[in-house]
Structure 1
């Protein structure tokens, strides 16, 4: 027992001696975080003796900005984990002293044991100095900008070249996270750190860093590990080389190369991403050497077919335009020329195409290729037709008032005197003359409808279904007389619209009357209502009559043009005007022998 007691005492004396002579800072905290012991090196560093601070809470002396991450590390100790870190400790003179904690553990009785090394400043050189092991490792590199940071990314030291390059002094950075790291480059930093911690001796890569003034510079970064005397990684060092001049030189060369490459790709990039169809035809080869992808979107045919045989394009041209198209494309020409023609897509849709062909010459002035640019102008053509119809309506509207007033006054007089003459002479021709005069009066009323300005209409909210039902009731007898059945397919909702009820009735009467007259041997007329997703109601009148040719459909709505033998063309013209004033649209589709369908779109009440 005496030998055991002597050995224990000898161990205690040795531990006490070691704590006294070592340059490392030793501390012992109880379970409540109160200071139980600091060694002489710790006393000299913070200017307090052990009796002055014993039993005080350790966090009392830690800088308030460092307390949170200090507590985080103390919590890790409870899970038997420790990561070296830096915090600032308050000295007796009120200044703060930076400590790098390199080791800590919890004893079996719950006491916290910690070992730190000081980070001191040299006033003579104005730069941060670390402990001997770190200093030798860190400044053993070249004169490039260099700094050292702990495993959390907080700066431990930086050299003069670093301060000169980035504009921060070492005092401004030590103990803080790196501000030279752009937020979007954090992943590079984390990845490089992991590679070093997992065994890589050196990790080098090119990236970007930020100066104090906000300037972004290209750099080459080399990371390496810093170990303590026991070989444990306690920090990382970084060597940074400014690549601004090198990158600028490379950029000039790269820009020249890119410029040349872009010039070659420019035409292809443009033609691949525009709606116009760009084609390049080689005369010597007798085929197309380039056709832009937009061809498939407009024509709807496979590009490869046209590459194999250029004449395939003519198969798509509308029959009535084929001769004109062949003459345009196959006749040699020395200047640019343009043609509008129709094509039929693979879905059967007819489209208007405008093509401009320009000859391409070689250095000798010989035409070697033809460059053509085509575009789909179907919508433009439709707009032109609408404008023409609108202009005609406008002209007729302006003339209508004058013509109606000029004719109705003498017409009234003629009718009155004719009636008196009939009473006196009882001529058999009087009734015929009166009938024709009434027809003239009816035409004048239709003229006046065109002349009535939109602002004078008395608009009110009405159910389009109710309006249609009243019209069908009115037209019922005429349908029966012509052996025509009117079939309705109405939605359950009333479908409210803002309208002038009498005018809409006139439109629907015209449409149903036209449908009945288009079925000379009897048949069916369908009247439907449908709600569209765009906030419109669709009124559809369909018959199974004789139909109308495409040429005649294009002219419907023109004044004094009608597909009927005794028609004036004013009925549809008036209908177009009424629907236009109701902010709606009017569409007619038909096929000879297969009937006609008229669709009217009117905005629903929101």
Structure 2
């Protein structure tokens, strides 16, 4: 920064300074000039256009003038001084602080008159040493930034007006353009690239403390070393007290009010509940009418007490919902929970929570979007029941075969009993009747409808063994051998047992159907990090083509002739509802591996 003596010197020189601007060809012919340049020469612009600049430059300065112009063409602009000759023969000293090439044969020059010729060398030296820039030579708040919004520099007046200093902003994105006025920046860029030299406009900008203030802008193009427009130099004045800006403010406020009304019209008429929550103040900033309908709690009560967001939640889901809102996660979170209405009716809600993060990386607010998914839940349940009914129907033939065999034995033995005096066949008949009873019990357990989601802690080994016993007779008919290898220690999962059985039956049926010529079906379990149990179902069947693997689980997609694809889709959804995952890998001609991962019970 400059010392006090130099500050005083510069201030003395630049009081009421008039800047002259003119453009030249590479040979020094004048192309255009501003009115201040003409006034200095006391000549009309028409009389100097196409004449040589050397005609009005002092003869002792002409060599240096053209040398500096040529050097600026190659880049590395060095400010320099020269004297301008007027009609009466007197001369005025100037120093050039801007020399930019806008094309291969046009350079724009900006110069400031020096009031005291004996003092200009100190200022020139500061410019050469780059201790000051053109931003330091104006009393206006000035900012230099690239077209992508990156700040090159700001001056002290900018800090006083807007609250940001050069050290904070340099190299960062400019924060003072409000989002709803960003279109102005794009318009300014297009106009400057289109050839405009000065753009003047009244607008509004944001101060560091978040206040919008009205400003008057004079915007100039900033050129790179090759004369191409690369950004802007904007000089701004605070016009808050002027009558003109009062009218401008009223217009801006009217625009903002219209935007607020538009946003409220949208948010209050969508089928989604919207909330915005301030993490630091621990209070709701906004809530729309739909949220009131979803929760059954008045908006004003929710705004007064944000804890009422969970007041109507089902008792079984309340703990998880409170944890969902309390944890300050940095990524999108989703939860599904039940809300109990005044009439006792249960409604399913899905809420997505999006964090808003400040520049320091801290979560400061949350925006939540909530919607009623009761119909979707009902459809999911119907799909599961449909798939279960379909499974039971397909297994009916196998069960009939399993029951027919022992019945045939019993029928034959009863006929023999009628002819024998001793009851030699009683134990055999009892054993066959036990087989029938066991098969029918398994069948009824599978077909029995479930009411809601009855989760319980159960043994994964028990579920696998039950399904295997249910399917092994059908497998034997297809010449398929089961090979079971379960983890040494039994593991327990928190699940809805019938749904897990449904998934395993679907997968085993698919594997059996994939081995029409017989084969080996391996089922194994293993533990991952004492947190997950992994179930592997591996067959030696025909395999699945790669293009079909990515579509598994989609509704109505199946490679079976009469398949609906609903079985796998329901299986995927069941596993997801149990916080698990299901993955298929396959190679044509070698078989398919299904991997199911489920979380172990906390009490395991």
Normalised by the size of structure 2, how large is the TM-score? 0.29
Computing the radius of gyration over CA atoms, which structure comes out larger, 1 or 2?
1
